[in-house]
Structure 1
């Protein structure tokens, strides 16, 4: 599943949280995202900036559902998890035994395979501690970090009901 497909299928409140975090904590990124998406749609950024915050977020979410927005959408997910959801990243890396810098940034290369038992235990722990939709989102974004994802993670995302994307 590509980033634009995740935007099509994720619960809108998760995306609203992402953009609200970005607006509060990474204001320049928020403005740059509006400008980039507006330019890609052949609009002037001011057209979007004049909207209410709720309408700006809804417009960005709608635009990120387009295949042409895939790259920026994936980048936004990465920034959100690396800076706005470090606790989740650290918990996953620790549970999987993946070396990291203490903030969730992986030291060295990602593993070629994921141990199935560790993966199941990691998911169980994450789902208990965090919103399952956020966990699902993170695991899907993590799975994008290799060309074809990890087979056992892909299968787990497809089969574990707790990790289903539930667009409202």
Structure 2
């Protein structure tokens, strides 16, 4: 799943909270994101900056969902996760035995991930954090490799809490009544 698609699938309030956090805590990132999104739409940033803060955030949350905003969306998600959810990132990396800088950034990512450690770690993350944030993190982590990690892909597919957007429940097959055969 691409970054702009994550914004399409996440709850609107989560997307708003991403930009609200950036506006409150990471002003430079917020301003750069606003300018980049405005440039994508061929607008001058001042046009958006003149709006009240809630309208700016709403505009950004709407426009980052566009395909042309994928690179910006990926950057925004990475920064938001690394700054606002550092504990979750370090817990994940520690749980998998991946070396990191103590702030959630890892230089060398493994080729394979231990599925058992992954399940245990993600179960803990889901217990301690908002499941949608955990889902966004795992999907974002998958972007670090062109095909992601099959172990994470399988875990996401098997865990409804890790699937962004509305989970389509497969209807249970109705029990067929035994056919009565009339013998002559």
1:9-47: CA deviations, max 9, x gaps? Answer: 011122122111111111111111111111110111121
Matched, 1:42 2:39: no
Q: Please name the residue that 2:174 is paired with.
A: none
Matched, 1:131 2:130: yes
SS for the counterpart of 1:91 is helix
Query: Is there any run of 5+ residues in structure 2 with no aligned partner, and where?
Result: 167-184
Q: Give, in angstroms, the shift of residue 158 of structure 1.
A: 2.1
Query: Is there any run of 5+ residues in structure 1 with no aligned partner, and where?
Result: none
Which structure is richer in relative contact order (CA contacts within 8 A, separation 6 or more)?
1
SS for the counterpart of 1:39 is helix
Larger Rg: 2
Q: Please name the residue that 1:141 is paired with.
A: 140
Q: Distance in 2 between matches of 1:27 and 1:146?
A: 29
Q: Distance in 2 between matches of 1:127 and 1:100?
A: 21
Q: Give, in angstroms, the shift of residue 154 of structure 1.
A: 1.2
Q: Distance in 2 between matches of 1:122 and 1:71?
A: 28
Q: Distance in 2 between matches of 1:99 and 1:39?
A: 37
Q: Distance in 2 between matches of 1:162 and 1:48?
A: 35
Q: Distance in 2 between matches of 1:129 and 1:50?
A: 39
Q: Distance in 1 between matches of 2:98 and 2:127?
A: 20
Aligned length: 166
SS for the counterpart of 1:23 is helix
8 Å Cα contact 1:133/1:166 also seen in 2:
no
What TM-score, normalized by structure 1, do the two folds share?
Answer: 0.94
What TM-score, normalized by structure 2, do the two folds share?
Answer: 0.86
